[in-house]
A and B are shown apart, each in its own frame.
Chain A
């Protein structure tokens, strides 16, 4: 089972260098976006009501 899985991974992602490199870059981008979004959200939750974006709407005139 594990060997079949590893074999599939090898054939689809690792055999061709072009596919491998594309995979590396895609993973990097996706990971960064997901991590940053999650971290920013946690940060804003911890500091709710304190940052400028939380009080900005009191002062912006349109």
Chain B
């Protein structure tokens, strides 16, 4: 026969054991945990001008962002899936884009003699790549391949927030973190060591609309531009979506009302079986 006291002691002991096991599992065994050095720091959520179901892109920002891409990023990063014509009516007029395309030489052909020739770019040409192929890109960048930026906002966890954080997140490596020669410390990059050096500095370029070209302004603009490049249908998609939801809601309400009207007589009818 056990006394109440020893019973209580057992309960307390068992509970403590369970708690310690659980906490120990949580801290030392559980594989689900945030390893920010390994996975990269999670970017904060920024208030993008195109955030939310009713917001279009800020096209003035896309235009500035294209300038940042052209003057800074395009030295190493290609933009294969965007053609000159895609900019028309989005960030530039047709005349402006034609003039920009003509500044670039494209190989075309073959001509009547069967030879390829150089010609100035047209609206239908795609953005010129900085390197002829992947090997050339790697050779120029110490073995690292600068990714194509066409779909980069969709292709990276965190999207636009991540891009902005990467561009503005360069800093001194904290004590105890070793960074190899040729790599740079960026806490938002998985692993922390990124091959790309910090590219944006205050006053690096001069915006044509007079916006002060701070690091964060340029990062915001180029991220907006790349968000557009990844999703050129964005504005139209949101507008059509809102319209469709409004129309479908009205039609759903109408059909519910019609069903209730039709069923009113059936549901209020009383059927009685009289047995004689």
Chain A residues close to B by CB (< 8 Å): 35-36, 39-40, 43, 46-47, 50-52, 54-56, 58-61
Contact = CB atoms under 8 A, between A and B. Distances in A.
Most buried by A among B55, B59, B90, B235: B59
A43 B246 CA distance: 13
Interface of B: 49, 54-60, 63, 89-93, 95-96, 209, 235, 239, 242-243, 246-247
Contact of B235 (A51, A56, A58): A51
A35 B93 contact: no
Contacts of B246: 35, 39
B89 A59 contact: no
Contact of B49 (A46, A50, A54): A50
B242 A50 contact: no
Contacts of B92: 59
B243 A56 contact: no
B60 A47 contact: no
B54 A46 contact: yes
A41 to B, nearest CB: 12
Given A35-B247, A51-B235, A52-B91, A59 B59 contact: no
A61 B98 CA distance: 14
28 contacts: A35-B243, A35-B246, A36-B243, A39-B239, A39-B242, A40-B239, A43-B54, A46-B55, A47-B54, A47-B55, A47-B56, A50-B55, A50-B57, A50-B58, A50-B60, A51-B56, A51-B59, A51-B235, A52-B89, A52-B91, A54-B59, A55-B63, A56-B93, A59-B92, A59-B93, A60-B93, A61-B93, A61-B95
A50 B59 contact: yes
A36 B212 CA distance: 39
A24 to B, nearest CB: 15
Contacts of A61: 93, 95
A14 B110 CA distance: 67
B235 to A, nearest CB: 7
B56 to A, nearest CB: 5
A39 B243 contact: yes
A1 to B, nearest CB: 20
Contacts of A52: 59, 89-91
A31 B60 CA distance: 34
Nearest to B250: A35
A51 B54 CA distance: 13
A59 B96 contact: yes
Closest 3 A-B residue pairs measured CB to CB? A52-B59, A47-B56, A50-B58
